[in-house]
Amino acid sequence: MRLLISLEADADAEYKTSYHHKLRGRLWRALDGTEYGAEHDDAPTGLAFSNIFPWDEIAEGDERSLLVASPREELLATMAESLKRNPEFNVGDMPFTVTDLAPVEPDVGEPGTRGVIETATGVVIRLYDERREAYGIDSESGSPTYWQPEHGLEPVRDALDANLARKHDRFAPDYVPSPTDVGETLFDGYELLKTYALPTTVTTGVEIQLVVSKWRFDYRVRDDTHRRHLNLALDTGIGGRNGLGFGFVNIVERTRPGETELEGLDAFA
């Protein structure tokens, strides 16, 4: 489940790449005083969000958008009510006003559907001591190593599945098998687009250098359980630091059973 927030810029502004901490703060302020208000330090938070898009310099009057995702519809409804009452939406030095709110319900599709999920924000994949030893990766003990291409794909597949299993344990019904119990990886194909380092404020006065990566993931929905897992990834984000806006993903291609890949492209128009 997602909430699409439409914004109008109140002034000219530079688009700040270090928006994460400020944007997280504005979203959680919308939940202050509610049953969700104290959950911002919980892990996993079950709240993921895109960047403010489109990404470009901001002029007064510009229209921008933001997507917020959660497996809990009630949380998003509570946030929407708060934003209606207080539409001022300042993200650091980027001032906006909320002009509209709309629910969005992405779905990977029924079993047999094929598609591509792409990361809209960078994915944080951290490898701790136990994982590093399993993959033969040398690094300083006691601190995470951020995944990089020379570590290979296996740590990525395992880390994404294990991370989603933690979210599954918190948010999914008990009768649904966990992503790590089904004996299959979440995605069929993993195409790395790029990796990059990003100085990020993780809390007030604390900045660290994150190494993040962008991906395209191929999938074919195997069954209803796999559909639940993929939709959970859409609702919670993938990898770590989702609470700062990393790991937000979108469906960019989808072919349902019985369709051809060309049907969605008006190929015969």
| Of 4 and 142, more confident | 4
Residue 200 has pLDDT above 50, yes or no: yes
Q: What is the DSSP string of the chain?
A: -EEEEEEEESS-B---TT-HHHHHHHHHHTTTTSTTTTGGGSSS---EE---BS-S-B-TT-EEEEEEE-S-HHHHHHHHHHHHH--EEEETTEEEEEEEEEEE-----STT-EEEEEESSPEE-EE-HHHHHHHT----TTS-EE--GGG-SHHHHHHHHHHHHHHHHHHS-TTSPPTTTSSS-S-SEEEEEEEEEEEEEEETTEEEEEEEEEEEEEEE--SHHHHHHHHHHHHH-SSB-GGGTTT-EEEEEEE-TT--TTGGGTTT-
* Euclidean distance between CA atoms 123 and 9, whole angstroms: 28
Report cis status (omega within 30 of 0) of the bond before 54.
yes
pLDDT, position 141: 74
Q: What is the mean pLDDT of the chain?
A: 92
* Integer Rg of the chain from CA: 19
Q: Tell me the mean pLDDT in the region 75-98.
A: 97
% of the chain beyond a pLDDT of 90 = 78
From residue 29, alpha-carbon distances to 32, 88, 105, 130 in Å are 5, 11, 24, 37
Residue 269 has pLDDT above 50, yes or no: no
Neighbours of 157 (CB within 10 A): 14
What is the sign, positive or negative, of the torsion defined by CA atoms of 49, 55, 60, 65? negative
- Looking at the whole model, is its pTM more than 0.85? yes
First to last CA, the chain: 33
Tell me which residue of 86, 121, 106, 137 sits closest to 240, measured CA to CA.
121
Residue 268 has pLDDT above 60, yes or no: no
- Whether 76 and 101 have beta carbons less than 8 Å apart is answered as no
Residue 147 has pLDDT above 60, yes or no: yes
Please tell me which of 30-44, 79-93, 126-140, 197-211 the model is most confident about, judged by mean pLDDT: 79-93
Q: Tell me the mean pLDDT in the region 15-32.
A: 94
Q: Which residues fall within 8 angstroms of residue 186, CB to CB, at 6 or more apart? A: 157, 160, 161, 164, 179, 217, 219, 229, 230, 233
pLDDT band per the 50, 70, 90 thresholds, residue 140 = confident
Residue 263 has pLDDT above 70, yes or no: no
* Euclidean distance between CA atoms 70 and 47, whole angstroms: 5
pLDDT, position 47: 92
* Euclidean distance between CA atoms 205 and 202, whole angstroms: 8
% of the chain beyond a pLDDT of 70 = 97
pLDDT, position 261: 64
pLDDT, position 150: 93
- Whether 108 and 231 have beta carbons less than 8 Å apart is answered as yes
Q: Give catalytic residue positions.
A: 41
pLDDT, position 262: 54
Residue 248 has pLDDT above 50, yes or no: yes
Q: Tell me the mean pLDDT in the region 232-236.
A: 97
Q: Tell me the mean pLDDT in the region 176-194.
A: 94
